[in-house]
Amino acid sequence: MNCNDAIEINKPPRRIRWLCSDLNPDVDGPNGRDAYCRQQIELATGVPQSFPPAATQAVNAIAAVGRVGLAAVTRNVVFVSDPILKERETVCSTCDQLKDNRCLKCGCFYKKKIRLATEECPLKKWLRASVNISTSATPTGTVTATATTAIQPPTT
């Protein structure tokens, strides 16, 4: 959908029509023509056309780094297995919230995020996969490792 189609659907006031038109000399910026066109397309389709604010994306990234660090320190697996990775990639690559290999909901670069066991889709299309590793030693010196995997299925 382009800006003209969205304007025909929304039927905004004359001022908004002008702001979206080629007559508006301010193309970029928060009050530019492109911003008004994105707004009209969002209203017409109900699908966001821009990423979250930079501050929100920064908070999301810092929180993800913290979760990954905690998983590593507590001996939990940080990365998902290949079957889970492929499933997540299939879900994300067909999502309507994907633009330029980034999620419109959280702003992440999805190909990086889907690899992390500590992360989940903001739309709950896939959830965290936790793998706990525990080791134990017997008096004879035998060390055994046990891995427990819990993959949370998406809720429908």
Are 60 and 37 within one domain? no
Beta bridge partners of 131: 149
How far is the C-alpha of 144 from the C-alpha of 54, rounded, in Å?
A: 46
Q: Are residues 66 and 38 in the same domain?
A: no
Domain-located, residue 24: yes
Q: Where are the beta strands (DSSP E) in the chain?
A: 98-99, 102-103, 129-137, 143-151
If asked whether residues 58 and 40 sit together in one domain, one would say: no
Residue with tokens 């007559």: 23
pLDDT for res 143:
54
pTM of the model: 0.59
Same domain, 69 and 137: yes
- Bridge partners of 76, per DSSP, are 132
Radius of gyration of the chain (CA): 22
> Which range marks the domain in which residue 20 is found?
3-45
Q: How many domains does the chain have?
A: 2
pLDDT at 85: 94
Asked if the structure places residue 156 within a domain, the reply is: no
Q: Are residues 79 and 133 in the same domain?
A: yes
Q: Answer yes or no: do 15 and 61 share one domain.
A: no
Going residue by residue through the chain, which has 156 residues, state the pLDDT in tens, using 9 for 90 and above.
Answer: 888 898 999 999 998 898 888 888 887 776 788 888 888 888 888 776 778 888 999 999 999 999 999 999 998 889 999 999 999 999 999 988 888 889 988 999 999 999 999 999 998 999 998 655 555 666 676 655 444 444 455 554
Site of tokens 């060390």: 143
